A and B are shown apart, each in its own frame.
Chain A
């Protein structure tokens, strides 16, 4: 296999004939008119045509005769000082969902939050965000929200007043013998105060917390090892060798934004001094973190304990034996050497939910001397505090009839715990069930009262995500509905004397007085509390107190831990359950942006797909398990439950392992999330009360049919695939050209396609030489033109701005935060599963995932792909109406109102980044007949007045029949230019930052002015690792990528 070969999937790798046929078509997914059920009028004949013609003329006449509708301009009555209509205001706040935390800045226009950005002042996330954070603003405008307090009656829920609810709830609580509060992790110290007040008001009550995806074993293990039930701080930036046992720390594990930021620091390669960390992932399926690893050690899910024990044995005793596959053993032998050589600068982590395995992990870090350098206990993370054992105990109590009242604090144990159905059943035995929920879920519908809570963008609050690191949550909009924030409800029910119910914002006062009596007195910087408060509120974050790292002696019982490590099963097939970066364990199901965001690795949307391993048949095919193909439906049996799930073939799976995501198959998640995928929470097994996210009692049937709407975007818009001709590898598309027309020596086919350059760290020098040779060759070819680009470019772009982008593929982890940020910033419509299956997704920025290296255990490279703003753009030349053309600042402009939808440009785009509005996804069209029916709902996502509040008013909402694409966030460019003009100074980098750039947790994307020699982009464009994707087609792209470098240790693969 060619050294630089990359492939997007198994069909690409084996040059599948059917696949090659589809890639020749420009718009796959069939003819739009053939597939358009719901668009009956399109089945028309000649007479219909005449009718339409008549109607068209008539309508035009009527429209011409009509008066222009009266539009109103409604000013404020009393304008708030800080609002200038048309100018965005930013407020510092914090994104908090259970234990998920991210300090943010909220962009508001005329009082509406429309976009979330990271807060650069945070010492934890340093301005990074995740896809979940980016999408959180949409959940504020979720049509599925609770809109008023409710009480269950015979005919379902009825709206009641807050007074009535409070009276009845208080009465029920005061007569209850035992009360339980159930929540996920609570990060807010003030909320914990409120809970304490509640408990002292109702002394029989207890507070129970659990997490939808548990990290309880780490808490238990640290209790056993160090006497502290906390999650330590991991410093990935200080680690030279990282060994992760199944921990998806870049995607979902505990604090992914923080970890990604730190991790990427040692992954960005400087060509002059090539140095990077080595990341070894021991796992069973290709996780997002695993896809970024240099080496992956494949084990079956049940072998995890043994793998940990084996590595521990070598590190502690020098030799080890374990029930583990031989390949993994020999790899772990090498890993142990690596770790030892990086003692003190290494890091071993594990997502195992077996506390004894975690004790061994702790002990390994202890042996390696990592405490104090890569791990610290003094600023321990609070981001996971829950323990599902408590939930188990509660279920027993409820079943025993000992609980009279429960208050659910926006949790969903009837769906997202491993005892979901048991919980639902036990809950029915409780007298009074109060749900303090944001929107209906499987648990709240079982309750008697619903006391709806606010979105975090409507709430006050504080967060202590790590010891001594505080941040504030402040409302950016008044509550949209008749809701009340959780903490206030708790305090009202506790009849707290500290809550002044007559105040305008009672909980703000409570929060302030709590800060005044705790944090304010402990500091000396500010003399007045108001100044202290204002500064904290302005910054959004506050670091408090000193963090002296004191070594705590390890006190774990290693021998006992070793004896309690789990043993592998002899089962032939095992299934591993994992949390995805978009869905969590279902907390984010009702967010259409996240549903439509492709899974980073599998690239599937709208549902969970069973990932099955592939194996090379020795001839020409990579065969999936049971001969399954992508999109085949199978019956999956886990224990006593069986599911019909679609299949996706996945590279890099441990043999005998299948994987399925958690968080799907919700039954109460509104229009968007209900019934998407299947729910496997009930199949999670237990070990000493702790959830184990795999099962060994599993079987997968043979193909049972095809999925109706197979919505994996990986093969969409693909072209330029390699094929074999006369025993030689050539480009498939150009081969067709050569055959049909006898064209030879056509420029593109002279050279190898340069979509991607990859290298290993050790072979970097050679790869760079290689790359230079190839780029020189492209340059030579590109010079052979009648229209020399250089002269033109000098004349056109040498002054003013010349925009460009740089993407560091070594920093990119494929998390898709940029994709969602782009949707939020640019009003990109959500199209739904059926449309995605027809290749009609509208994302302007996609992250292409390519495999490279060994087909058995490949490495992965992510390539964010957006409009490349080619200076010699092929799309511009073919537009018959000049709707797309070039600006003097190097932007490839798209004028929607001029576009007539011929789609020639999309056809001609080598990067396939142009998107066509096949249907009226936004209802921007004036004739409603053009509006599609998506997944059965009455109006498309985002077309109702509530959800429209999230639209960016500076960006046009596109109607049916026009092409759209990445604009390099031209609205931000114009805004940045204006603010520097207004201030009479030169434009600097900070003036213009694109949405994808600000969203990126690792700083992989840099945007800027190529003419600004002081700018960051100018420096990055000098990076010797740079390449231009498809440089040989001479489109003069404005985006530079860096070569992907992996620090792969080949000896691990032996």
Chain B
């Protein structure tokens, strides 16, 4: 089964589930899908930690004092309930700094029940839940294991030795028959024979040259490069799980040559609300706060942040890390473990935000650049993203599945050229390309079905080198 057909299979499976669920009783499976689509952007998937919105575990109990309909109404349109001065609604609203929850008018009460079932399931039984279902299918890739090759090699080796022995024996026999004595060659004699040495030399030269050329060609290429970054930022969490659009953070991609690594204030759009990470807790997120000067304890930006010394910074962020530790552990005072955590995380902040050139913690996060092009190459994201409508994943791979980002493509010239040879230009609806009259005529007459980038000069030197 190809990947594509598997996908569509999965899709149809999901659709069947959905259509089924419209008629059926609420289920955990349905709840899981609905949660992923509607809730996961703002609510932590472990149901226990706070995110943009509160942890949902135990929500039913918190609303137990009120009519079930109130809970439905709250989820469908929270602002209406706040306006109606529902006591619980107002309480939650104020607790969350009057950040309004998104409305979900399309959810039915049954849908909501499913979600609640799923929430409860995860809350009680932990992340995996008891979810049963047919969705867990592993794609098996057909790949020959290495040991097969070794086995084959060994077999062939033994075969050749045996055959050589057989030939040698036959020679001896035939020599005896003819009354000659056959001088059997020793292994050493065979190995030092002229033919073998010539062959070995020849092979060495060829192999050496082949390796040298290949290695020189790949010199400076770093396909698969996945350095450890100052912050353990996971694209899997952001783009995969939370489905944040690539261009929300990489906002240069549509309008500039650079896709742009987001500035710390872009992070803060969400992380002012999500102050504790789902994966690393305070360890990684606090680095962003320390870079920009945000104090998560009292939800403020620190005045004159640039002028503070490391000790003052440590006081602010150690308190935050410690407090969060206490909260999660339900302790009143830091134990040894807690102190170790605080120290460790503080050291992490210092190590990530400072280096030989940058002595201060304050200031930009110095990410390690993964996609590097030589200086004589001009590449423009806008051309590819906005005009060419190329998906990010085509060059960057399945970023939404990468916990640690790595370079997916070789970024070699051959790779670029190859794509330019195959890719169709987006003639449709772009008046710019009207100047290619000949091609338009040919397409109208049917003698041509598409125009590739190559055909409008996409392989020429000065499209990328100037």
Interface residues of A (CB under 8 A from B): 63-64, 68, 70-79, 84-87, 798-801, 885, 887-889, 891, 893-898, 954-957, 967, 970-971, 974, 977-978, 980-982, 984-987, 1009, 1011-1012
Contacts and interface: CB of A to CB of B under 8 A. Distances in A.
A956 B373 CA distance: 13
Q: How large is the interface on B (under 10, 10 to 19, 20 to 34, 35 or more residues)?
A: 35 or more
B262 A75 contact: yes
28 contacts: A68-B222, A68-B225, A71-B372, A73-B366, A73-B369, A75-B260, A75-B264, A75-B367, A76-B364, A79-B263, A79-B265, A85-B260, A86-B252, A86-B260, A798-B437, A799-B436, A799-B438, A799-B439, A888-B456, A889-B457, A893-B462, A894-B462, A895-B465, A896-B376, A897-B374, A954-B466, A956-B376, A957-B375
A73 B255 CA distance: 19
Contacts of A954: 378, 466
Interface stretch (B72-80, B323-331, B380-388): B380-388
Query: Majority SS of interface residues in chain B?
Result: loop
A895 B462 contact: yes
Given A74-B364, A76-B265, 4 more contacts: A84-B255, A84-B256, A87-B255, A986-B434
B19 interface: no
A385 to B, nearest CB: 44
B387 A800 contact: no
A981 B465 contact: no
Contacts of B460: 885, 887-888, 893
B367 A78 contact: no
A694 B465 CA distance: 52
Given A84-B252, A85-B260, A86-B258, A72 B435 contact: no
Interface in B339-386: 363-369, 372, 374-376, 378, 380, 382-383, 386
A734 B119 CA distance: 91
Contact of B462 (A799, A891, A1009, A1011): A891
Nearest to B378: A954
Interface in B243-277: 251-252, 255-258, 260-266
A78 B431 contact: no
A986 B435 contact: yes
A889 B457 CA distance: 8
Interface of B: 215-216, 219-220, 222, 225, 227, 251-252, 255-258, 260-266, 291-292, 363-369, 372, 374-376, 378, 380, 382-383, 386-387, 429-439, 456-457, 460-463, 465-466
A103 to B, nearest CB: 28
A77 B291 CA distance: 7
A954 B464 CA distance: 10
B382 A978 contact: yes
Contacts of B456: 800, 888
A77 B462 contact: no
A1011 B437 CA distance: 11
Contact of A86 (B257, B431, B435, B438): B257
B457 A971 contact: no
Given A76-B364, A887-B462, A984 B256 contact: no
A967 B435 contact: no
B300 to A, nearest CB: 15
B368 A986 contact: no
Given A64-B216, A70-B368, A981 B457 contact: no
Contact of A78 (B258, B292, B434, B437): B292
Nearest to B292: A77
A180 to B, nearest CB: 41
B319 to A, nearest CB: 22
Given A889-B457, A956-B376, A967-B462, A73 B264 contact: no
Contact of A77 (B364, B386, B436): B364
A79 B252 contact: no
Query: Majority SS of interface residues in chain A?
Result: loop
Contacts of B225: 68
A76 B267 CA distance: 11
B447 to A, nearest CB: 15
A87 B435 contact: no
B438 A798 contact: yes
A977 B430 CA distance: 12
B466 A970 contact: yes
B258 A85 contact: yes
A583 B265 CA distance: 47
Contacts of B387: 978, 981-982
B432 A77 contact: no
Nearest to A956: B376
Nearest to B465: A895
B279 to A, nearest CB: 22
A971 B466 contact: yes
Contacts of A798: 437-438
A74 B457 contact: no
B466 A986 contact: no
Given A887-B460, A970-B462, A72 B376 contact: no
A559 to B, nearest CB: 67
B293 to A, nearest CB: 8
Contacts of B215: 64
B386 A982 contact: yes
Contact of B227 (A70, A801, A891): A70
B252 A984 contact: no
Nearest to A78: B265
Contact of B436 (A73, A800, A955, A970): A800
Contacts of A800: 435-436, 456-457
A71 B369 contact: yes
A182 B411 CA distance: 60
Contacts of B369: 70-73
Nearest to B388: A981
Q: Which among A72, A895, A898 has the highest number of chain B CB atoms within 10 Å?
A: A72
A984 B427 CA distance: 10
Contacts of A1011: 435
Nearest to A975: B380
Contacts of A74: 261, 364-367
A967 B461 CA distance: 12
B436 A984 contact: no
A965 to B, nearest CB: 12
Given A71-B368, A980-B432, A76 B263 contact: yes
A893 B255 CA distance: 26
Contacts of B364: 74-77
A73 B233 CA distance: 15
B383 A77 contact: no
A888 B255 CA distance: 26
A395 B264 CA distance: 59
Nearest to B432: A981
Contacts of A68: 220, 222, 225, 372
A852 B264 CA distance: 65
A841 to B, nearest CB: 21
A77 B292 CA distance: 6
A85 B256 contact: yes
A782 B431 CA distance: 37
A1009 B227 CA distance: 46
A896 B460 CA distance: 13
Contacts of A1012: 435
A954 B376 CA distance: 9
A986 B432 contact: yes
Contact of B435 (A76, A801, A895): A801
A63 B256 CA distance: 34
A888 B459 CA distance: 10
A1011 B436 CA distance: 10
B256 A87 contact: yes
A898 B461 CA distance: 10
B368 to A, nearest CB: 6
Would you list the 8 A-B pairs with minimal beta carbon distance, nearest first?
A86-B256, A76-B263, A79-B263, A86-B258, A893-B462, A86-B257, A895-B461, A73-B369
B60 to A, nearest CB: 41
A73 B462 contact: no
Contacts of A956: 375-376, 465-466
A967 B436 CA distance: 23
